[in-house]
Amino acid sequence: HPVNIPRKEKDFQGMLEYKKEDESKLVKNLILELKPRGVAVNLIPGLPAYILFMCLRHADYINDDQKVRTLLTSTINGIKKILKKRGDDYETVSFWLSNTCRFLHCLKQYSGEESFMKHNTPRQNEHCLSNFDLAEYRQVLSDLAIQIYQQLVKVMENILQPMIVSGMLEHETIQGVSGVKPTGLRKRTSSIADEGTYTLDSILRQLNSFHSTMCQHGTDPELIKQVIKQMFYIIGAVTLNNLLLRKDMCSWSKGMQIRYNVSQLEEWLRDKNLMTSGAKETLEPLIQAAQLLQVKKKTDEDAEAICSMCNALSTAQIVKVLNLYTPVNEFEERVSVSFIRTIQIRLRDRKESPQLLMDTKNIYPVTFPFNPSSLALETIQIPSSLNLLFLTRV
Amino acid sequence: RPPQQRPRVLLKAPTLAEMDELNISEEEESP
């Protein structure tokens, strides 16, 4: 039996040695059977990625191209497999998105290519791969990360979707406005018991939960921004689409409620330091629709103001809102046909698609900006809870 | 280790889709 003699960290080279026959055990224990909610909670963010990379470094160090290839293939296939099996679990998908990105960053940071070494310490530079150029595998991992990102967005949308209409449109939180209902309209929420239970607070709590999980998984800040922007897009698109289809949502008071809800979402972005994510901008069509519900709609000057204000809405959308607009009390009037005609004439020359509804399936292209880590590989220790005793620190 | 001077060997990679056929070390899980 080998005796474990404690060594100082400076003696380690930041590699993990393993036998070829243990590779499947590595994938099984570290990828397929690792529960993000279990032991992974206490790991340093990205630890699975660092462990896999340190194994890869050793295979590179001993100049075994076959070992490098099979480890990369098994790793990629392992990640694909767990995402197939638990693809509907938000935490699993988020966990492997951040680890796939970290693995990709490691392949760049330690590639030996100068452009990726700018922030490395001298010690980190000593840890660069010595025998193989893995640029092609980086492309495969980047493709995998794109796939996982799209899966993550889908899972998150599935969680958010049932909350949006209820929380953004139906539920009323502003005192004094909610008392007045558009006349002659049935309250549609009452027939759908489940939907009625979600409020704006449910949405904010869900966003908090998404955000804290991604932070806990060590997701790159730039990637978090893109995810949140995508979620804001879906919130805005689903809300606007419903507004465009429901007369009972097109009133002055709904405009007020929507603007309040949007301000709360904005406040959330500010609180999370995500104001530069572009998330708020995705709500612009909804913001303008809410403003449209609230402005005067009578004179030519009103028409001119509306046309210059609603540049994120299509003519079809503006006209639809005006047509659906329902007065809440006797002091207001329906929008006249001639006013709507004036708007249509003014907007005649706009070059735009005639589409009424926003595309709720739209996904913004994702990028994974290089994010090197300051972590020193030689200091990484493997917790026994990962069941990886067959790996030897080198 | 002395600094590495010789160029690294480019490892050709299959595409992500092709990887499926290379399930080298995947173990079938017990049901």
Give CA–CA dist A69/A134, Å, rounded. Answer: 10
The nearest alpha carbon in chain B to A147 belongs to B16
Neighbours of A290 (CB within 10 A): 23
Question: What is the nearest CA distance from A63 to chain B, expressed in angstroms?
Answer: 10
A302-356 tens-digit pLDDT: 999 999 999 999 999 999 999 999 987 777 789 999 999 999 999 999 988 888 9
Residue A353: its pLDDT value, please? 83
The nearest alpha carbon in chain B to A135 belongs to B10
Question: What is the nearest CA distance from B24 to chain A, expressed in angstroms?
Answer: 7
Closest CA to A358 of A294, A282, A300, A306: A282
Determine contact: A14 vs chain B, CB below 8 A.
Answer: no
Residue A188: its pLDDT value, please? 47
Candidates A27, A30, A68, A140, partner chain B, best to mutate (most B CBs within 10 A): A140
Say yes or no for a CB contact (<8 Å) between A72 and B22.
no
Stronger pLDDT, A80 or B1, i.e. the higher one: A80
Give CA–CA dist A65/A78, Å, rounded. Answer: 20
Say yes or no for a CB contact (<8 Å) between A73 and B8.
no
Question: What is the nearest CA distance from A388 to chain B, expressed in angstroms?
Answer: 17
The nearest alpha carbon in chain B to A71 belongs to B25
Q: How confident is the model at residue B12 (pLDDT cuts 50, 70, 90)?
A: very high
Q: How confident is the model at residue B29 (pLDDT cuts 50, 70, 90)?
A: very low
The nearest alpha carbon in chain A to B19 belongs to A73
DSSP B8: P
Residue A177: its pLDDT value, please? 56
Give CA–CA dist A146/A104, Å, rounded. Answer: 12
Candidates A28, A72, A77, A134, partner chain B, best to mutate (most B CBs within 10 A): A77
Out of A23, A68, A137, name the one closest to residue B25 (CB): A23
Neighbours of A143 (CB within 10 A): 15
Long-range contacts at A185-193 (CB < 8 A, ≥ 24 apart)? A185/A247, A185/A248, A185/A326, A186/A248, A187/A248, A188/A246, A188/A248
Q: Is the dihedral of CA A47, A52, A56, A58 positive or negative?
A: positive
Candidates A21, A64, A73, partner chain B, best to mutate (most B CBs within 10 A): A73
pLDDT higher than threshold 50 for residue A192: no
| CB A221, CB A271: distance < 8 Å | no
Neighbours of A185 (CB within 10 A): 13
Give CA–CA dist A287/A67, Å, rounded. Answer: 55
Contacts of A147 in chain B (CB under 8 A): 16
Question: What is the nearest CA distance from B19 to chain A, expressed in angstroms?
Answer: 7
Residues A78-90, mean pLDDT to the nearest whole number? 97
Work out how many CB contacts closer than 8 A connect A with B.
73
Say yes or no for a CB contact (<8 Å) between A76 and B19.
yes
